[in-house]
Amino acid sequence: MNLLYEGKAKRVYATDNSDRVRVEFKDSATAFNGQKKAEITGKGVVNTAVTARLFGWLQEHGIPTHFIEQLDDRNLLVDRLSMVGLEVVVRNWVAGSLHTRTGLPEGTPMDDPVLEFYYKNDALGDPLLNEDHIRLLGLASPDLIARLRQEALRINQVLKPFFLQRGIVLVDFKLEFGRDAEGNLKLGDEISPDTCRLWDRESGERLDKDRFRRDLGGVEDAYQEILKRVVN
């Protein structure tokens, strides 16, 4: 199978069906726009299984995704999407850049989620955009922006109780969307400890990529704990 694309955490390969691709999850980890790099043993296996479980759960709740099936411990078969050039971030608690930008204490819960759009552009550092910026750059129409917002909030409503039942607080998470060969808008990419902030409900322990970003140690153990709670 021909390699179509290699990113920081995944490789995408062509298949015999031009409308489907194989996604391989790597152990590579990056932070701060690629300035910090490392290998996290077993990360690719965890993210493959967690993404398959969560995308399957979302599909069961009527949310279209590109997920078709898990092929092995590191590979998913998915619909090939033409991706929207935006990352959609849903925030339920104050953390990370929201803390930095607002000065609100990290760990502050919010009554209603905050939704943000970021420009998928590594050269610019994936900057935060408002809807006027999105229109200026021609990244999405007002109708598409409204649809992305609607889908992201629906996904949040499905995932928050899923995690809470497993003793995990869904602090925030990143989503990416695209259109399939028929033009249908679907959730793509992944949902994993790489793309979410996940805190233990009782202890507040971080069980996600922040352990790598902040040099907290125990990265592999945190990922394995998420695997155990979400999949097993």
Res. 92 pLDDT band, cuts 50 70 90: very high
Euclidean distance between CA atoms 99 and 57, whole angstroms: 30
Ramachandran bin of 96, using left for φ above 0, alpha for ψ from -120 to 50, beta for the remaining angles: left
* Counted domains in the chain: 2
Beta bridge partners of 91: 114, 172
Residue range of the domain that includes 127: 82-218
Mean pLDDT on 1-11:
91
Instruction: Please report, for the domain that includes residue 93, its CATH number.
Output: 3.30.470.20
Give the pair of three-digit tokens for residue 106.
């990290």
Helix (H) and strand (E) counts in the chain: 6, 13
In this predicted structure, which of 31-35, 52-56, 122-126, 180-184 has the lowest mean pLDDT?
31-35
Residue ending a domain, among 44, 79, 114, is 79
Residue pLDDT, tens place only, 69-80: 999 999 999 999
Report whether pLDDT(114) > 80.
yes
34 and 100, same domain (yes or no): no
Domain shared by 169 and 64, yes or no = no
Residues 93 and 47 in one domain: no
As a whole number of angstroms, the distance between CA 57 and CA 76 comes to 15
198 with 89, same domain: the answer is yes
Q: Span 138-154, mean pLDDT?
A: 97
* Interatomic CA distance for residues 144 and 187, integer angstroms: 13
- Residue 141 token pair: 């129409």
Look at residue 33 in the predicted model and tell me its pLDDT: 67
Show the beta-strand stretches assigned E in 18-167. Answer: 20-25, 28-31, 36-39, 67-70, 75-79, 82-93, 109-119, 128-129
Do 93 and 139 fall into the same domain?
yes
Contact indicator for 222, 214 with CB cutoff of 8 Å:
no
Any bridge partners for residue 176, and if so which?
87, 188
147 and 129, same structural domain? yes
Taking the C-alpha atoms of residue 94 and residue 97, their distance in angstroms, rounded to an integer, is: 9
**pLDDT, averaged across the chain:** 96
Q: Tell how far CA 105 is from the center of its chain.
A: 24
- 12 pLDDT more than 80: yes
CATH number for the domain harbouring residue 55: 3.30.200.20
pLDDT digits (tens, 9 = 90+) for 24-65: 999 988 886 667 788 899 999 999 999 999 999 999 999 999
pLDDT score at 30: 84
What is the side-by-side order of every strand in the sheet holding 10-14? 3-6, 10-14, 20-25, 75-79, 67-70
pLDDT of residue 36: 77
pLDDT for 224 beyond 80: yes
Same domain membership, residue 186 and residue 108: yes
Domain identity same for 201 and 142: yes
pLDDT value at position 37? Answer: 84
The model's confidence at residue 116, banded by pLDDT at 50, 70 and 90, is very high
Two tokens, residue 138: 């021609």
Domain contains 197: yes
- The stretch 105-119 carries a mean pLDDT of 97
Do 40 and 15 sit in the same domain of this protein?
Answer: yes
User: What pLDDT does residue 1 have?
Assistant: 66
Asked if residues 94 and 108 have their Cβ atoms less than 8 Å apart, the reply is: yes
Mean pLDDT of 94-102: 96
Residue 232 lies in a domain: no
